[in-house]
């Protein structure tokens, strides 16, 4: 799904949109980022239903982990195919397909008759998430003025963390209505079923919003709808731009490109082109630092410092607030200090935080499911966990999405973005299913492994990751 920059015809890196158009661009971006909201919501809402699903279907931790992680397999396939689908039928239609998959998954997951049935609906929802994870950043890059593109691309991660926070509040509300019992009855369904089913509301909203935003100018030019493309360009870049020149620029870029296929990504010494490996590396490092399992023991962490376990949902929400704060910081600075600088700050902070968490957990007593820490180590673990989330959110959580939407040359952007996003979901799956085994082996060791990956990400960024701040997408090749 290739894209072209929306640079002003006059060139340069100044502000590309007049103030009266910026609000409209923000609305378009927020609507496209709803796919990120659904990803965050889905990935977090399942945590509130895990124990109920285990009890309902009487399964062990290994089988349960496979069912929970099944969505990530769907994500990988959705991400790998989204670019080609969007190039054929358009970005907006692709969003609408993803919305339908989200809604169907929410209803099916809430009404399963067997464990395999639940896993199937999780995979279907994952396919929608994978599609949205590719379409969102690419679409936003195509409609954003260069001066705002980094901040607007950050909406994807902002939507993810808001989705996580909202799901935790919804879960907490449903759990309270069910008197604290995940299997408590509400309107003929168990509480955990409502938790999963409520996702149909944002899924429908995502679909409706897709009808209220314009198609990408890049796609419109590619299918010959140049007048509509000019209209959209004026909407997002301002009335003073030379729309004819911009359309010609986009058209030249399209005709100078070869349609991206998987074969186009090959040719480097190690199979893929170097820039593709860099994209894969960014995606994989984002997951290998352990962001999606860092709070596997969150309830035990709170209890280790004397907090009642029944309040764990609200205290997890506090961590989501930290996540949101970090994301806002990234949105403010990603276009000011650059992508690489933020990534390096984040890697350093994450490495220190994870190292402290590993040290604290080396003092744990009790089995893998009953962690107890001395008071000092418990406080260090909690502070380190929140610092880790903060540093991740203000750096890699946002920067990776921004870079993946910008860094690839136009002729391979579609296929390369799909491969990088698929690698991200596969790495996510590996981390998710391996953590229970790692933590049973050595919880402190698991955190130390994530710390090592955070350290390794520093030379990776310094040596190989390009800085895309202030550049038009055409300048990427």
Per-residue pLDDT tens for 194-227? 999 999 999 999 999 999 888 888 888 888 888 8
Q: Which of helix, strand or coil describes residue 3?
A: coil
Burial of 377 (0-12, 13-18, 19+ CB in 10 A): buried
The pLDDT value recorded for residue 441 is: 79
Q: Which two tokens stand for residue 268?
A: 């480097």
Give long-range contacts, CB 8 A cutoff, 24+ apart: 377-383: 378/301, 378/304, 378/305, 379/305, 380/356, 381/301, 381/304, 381/356, 381/357, 382/301, 382/302, 382/305, 383/356
The pLDDT value recorded for residue 2 is: 39
Q: Which two tokens stand for residue 123?
A: 């995979």
* DSSP single-letter state for residue 370: S
Q: Which residues contact 458 (CB under 8 A, 6 or more apart)?
A: 344, 347, 348, 351
* DSSP single-letter state for residue 372: B
Q: Which two tokens stand for residue 326?
A: 């970090």
The pLDDT value recorded for residue 248 is: 78
Check: CB of residue 188 under 8 Å from CB of residue 69.
no
The pLDDT value recorded for residue 204 is: 94
Q: Which residues, given as ranges, of the chain have pLDDT below 50?
A: 1-19, 309, 368
Beta strands in 259-379 (DSSP E): 266-268, 271-272
The pLDDT value recorded for residue 375 is: 81
Cα–Cα dist 270/283, whole Å: 18
Burial of 315 (0-12, 13-18, 19+ CB in 10 A): middle
The pLDDT value recorded for residue 211 is: 92
Tell whether the torsion through CA atoms of 338, 341, 347 and 348 is positive or negative. negative
The pLDDT value recorded for residue 439 is: 75
End-to-end CA distance of the chain: 15
Cα radius of gyration rounded to whole Å, the chain: 22
Query: At CA 95, angle to CA 87 and CA 118, rounded to 5?
Result: 120
The pLDDT value recorded for residue 139 is: 87
Query: At CA 362, angle to CA 356 and CA 366, rounded to 5?
Result: 135
* DSSP single-letter state for residue 258: P
The pLDDT value recorded for residue 281 is: 93
The pLDDT value recorded for residue 263 is: 67
The pLDDT value recorded for residue 260 is: 60
Q: Which of helix, strand or coil describes residue 144?
A: coil
Cα–Cα dist 426/73, whole Å: 7
User: In which region does residue 4 sit, left (phi positive, over 0), alpha (psi from -120 to 50) or beta (all else)?
Assistant: beta
The pLDDT value recorded for residue 3 is: 38
DSSP string, 152-217: HHTHHHHHHHHHHHHHHHHHHHHHHHTTT-TT-EETTEEHHHHHHHTTHHHHHHHHHHHTSSPPPH
Cα–Cα dist 412/476, whole Å: 11
Average pLDDT, the chain: 80
The pLDDT value recorded for residue 43 is: 74
The pLDDT value recorded for residue 262 is: 64
Give me the phi and psi of 270, to 5 degrees please.
-110, 35
Cα–Cα dist 446/448, whole Å: 5
The pLDDT value recorded for residue 1 is: 45
In angstroms, the Cα distances linking 372 to 225, 240, 304, 308, 438 are 63, 64, 5, 14, 18
Q: Which of helix, strand or coil describes residue 272?
A: strand
Tell whether the torsion through CA atoms of 361, 328, 320 and 75 is positive or negative. negative
């Amino acid at each position: 799904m290739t894209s072209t920059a929306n640079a002003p015809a006059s060139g340069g890196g100044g502000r590309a949109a007049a103030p009266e158009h910026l609000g409209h661009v923000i609305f378009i971006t927020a609507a496209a980022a709803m796919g990120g909201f659904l990803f965050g919501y889905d990935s977090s809402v399942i945590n509130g239903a895990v124990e109920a699903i285990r009890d309902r279907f009487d399964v062990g931790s290994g089988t349960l982990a496979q069912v929970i992680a099944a969505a990530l397999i769907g994500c990988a396939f959705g991400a790998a195919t989204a670019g080609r689908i969007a190039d054929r039928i358009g970005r907006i239609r692709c969003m609408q397909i993803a919305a339908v998959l989200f809604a169907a998954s929410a209803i099916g997951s809430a009404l399963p008759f067997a464990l395999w049935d639940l896993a199937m609906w999780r995979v279907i929802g994952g396919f929608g998430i994978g599609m949205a994870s590719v379409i969102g950043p690419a679409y936003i890059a195509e409609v954003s003025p260069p001066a705002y593109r980094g901040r607007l691309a950050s909406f994807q991660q902002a939507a993810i963390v808001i989705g996580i926070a909202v799901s935790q509040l919804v879960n907490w509300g449903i759990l309270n209505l069910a008197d604290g019992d995940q299997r408590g009855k509400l309107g003929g369904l168990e509480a955990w079923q409502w938790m999963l089913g409520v996702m149909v509301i944002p899924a429908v909203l995502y679909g409706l919003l897709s009808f209220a935003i314009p198609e990408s100018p890049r796609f419109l030019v590619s299918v010959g709808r140049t007048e509509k493309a000019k209209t959209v360009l004026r909407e997002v870049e301002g009335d003073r731009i030379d729309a004819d020149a911009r359309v010609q620029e986009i058209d030249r870029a399209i005709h100078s490109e070869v349609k991206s296929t998987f074969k186009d990504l090959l040719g480097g010494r190690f199979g893929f082109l170097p820039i593709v490996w860099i994209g894969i590396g960014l995606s994989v490092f984002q997951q290998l630092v352990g962001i999606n399992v860092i709070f596997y023991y969150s309830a035990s962490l709170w209890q280790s410092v004397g907090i009642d376990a029944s309040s764990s949902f609200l205290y997890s929400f506090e961590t989501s607030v930290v996540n949101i704060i970090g994301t806002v910081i990234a949105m403010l600075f990603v276009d000011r200090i650059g992508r690489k600088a933020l990534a390096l700050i984040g890697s350093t902070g994450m490495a220190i935080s994870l190292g402290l968490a590993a040290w604290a957990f080396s003092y744990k007593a009790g089995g893998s499911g009953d962690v107890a820490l001395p008071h000092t180590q418990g406080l260090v673990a909690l502070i380190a966990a929140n610092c880790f989330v903060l540093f991740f959110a203000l750096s890699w959580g946002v920067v990776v999405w921004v870079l993946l939407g910008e860094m690839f040359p136009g002729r391979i952007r579609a296929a390369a973005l799909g491969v990088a996003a698929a690698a991200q979901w596969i790495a996510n799956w590996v981390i998710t299913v391996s953590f229970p085994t790692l933590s049973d082996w050595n919880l402190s060791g698991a955190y130390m492994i994530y710390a090592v990956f955070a350290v390794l990400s520093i030379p990776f960024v310094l040596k190989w990751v390009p800085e895309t701040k202030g550049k038009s997408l055409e300048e990427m090749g």
